[in-house]
Structure 1
Amino acid sequence: MKVNVKVTVNQAALKRLEDIKQQALEMTGEAVRTDIVASAVVPKQTGELERSGHIVVERGKVKLVYDTPYARRLYWHPEYNFRRDKNANAQGKWMESYVIGDKQKFVQQTFARFVKQLSKGLIK
């Protein structure tokens, strides 16, 4: 038995998928940032730390960066007694639940939803 197979790669569709992935990554990063603000978990005195949060997309990865001189100190010290008059759930390691905790599925499901939405039928 002899089988001949011809494969044609649709380069335009592959490029479109790559663009969709990139856009979905950015949208997912923004959705996580927005969810963090809504969850009121970032320590807040003046609001500068929370406002400094921004998305950086590099080589297929999304980073949520908090860019103040004290961000690292506050993030890595959950034992601090954070004031809760402005953000009721203020805590250290405020992004940890998205990486290894109960909000991990939020990230995965949000990315999948954006990819499907942006693909407009290319992905079902």
Structure 2
Amino acid sequence: MINVNSIINLNFPRIKQLTQAQSQALEQTAEALHTEVVQAQVFPFDTGNLQNESTFVDCSESSRGQVTLASTAPYARRVYFHPEYHFQTKENPNARGLWYEDWLPGGSKDQFCQKAYKEIYRRIVGL
């Protein structure tokens, strides 16, 4: 007969720190995505309101694992879902509808958020 004993000591302060780091990394990843999209110059740009003032990261649910990149301009939905419009390209040469498509699954930059989150999380927790 074999007897085995184990003692497990959980480091609750470290677990709490790692959990908080998940939310913090998620928030910073969303901010990085917003910056990436602005720098890609894909937002329709007339006055700059949609890109600069009306689009922001909502972190109110980050502790539940959800952040939202939201646009509050009343025309945002209309111009996003109608890529057939002829967008002015003076300020943003790549302006178009469906401006997040490159970062969605199947897009040319669909791994951006996963990679950014991984790097940010590792930096926060010190790995």
TM-score (norm. length: structure 1): 0.91
Does 2:121 align with 1:119? no
How far, CA to CA, are the matches of 1:113 and 1:9 in structure 2?
26
Aligned to 1:55: 57
Superposed displacement of residue 120, structure 1: 1.6
Which consecutive residues of structure 2, in runs of 5 or more, have no partner in the other structure? none
Matched, 1:35 2:41: no
Structure 1 runs not aligned, ≥5 long = none
User: Over aligned residues, Cα RMSD in angstroms?
Assistant: 1.2
Q: How many residues align?
A: 121
Residue of 64, 72, 77 corresponding to 1:67: 72
Encode CA deviations 1:35-74: one digit per residue, 9 max, x unaligned: 1111000001111100111001212112111110000111
Structure 1: how far apart are the matches of 2:7 and 2:86? 65
Is 1:82 the counterpart of 2:87 in the alignment? yes
Report the Cα offset of residue 8 of structure 1: 2.0
Give the fraction of aligned pairs with identical amino acids, expressed as a percent: 38
Which residue of structure 2 aligns with residue 94 of structure 1? 99
Structure 1 residue ranges, 4+ long, deviating more than 3 angstroms after superposition: none
- Larger mean Cα displacement after TM superposition, 4-13 or 80-89: 4-13
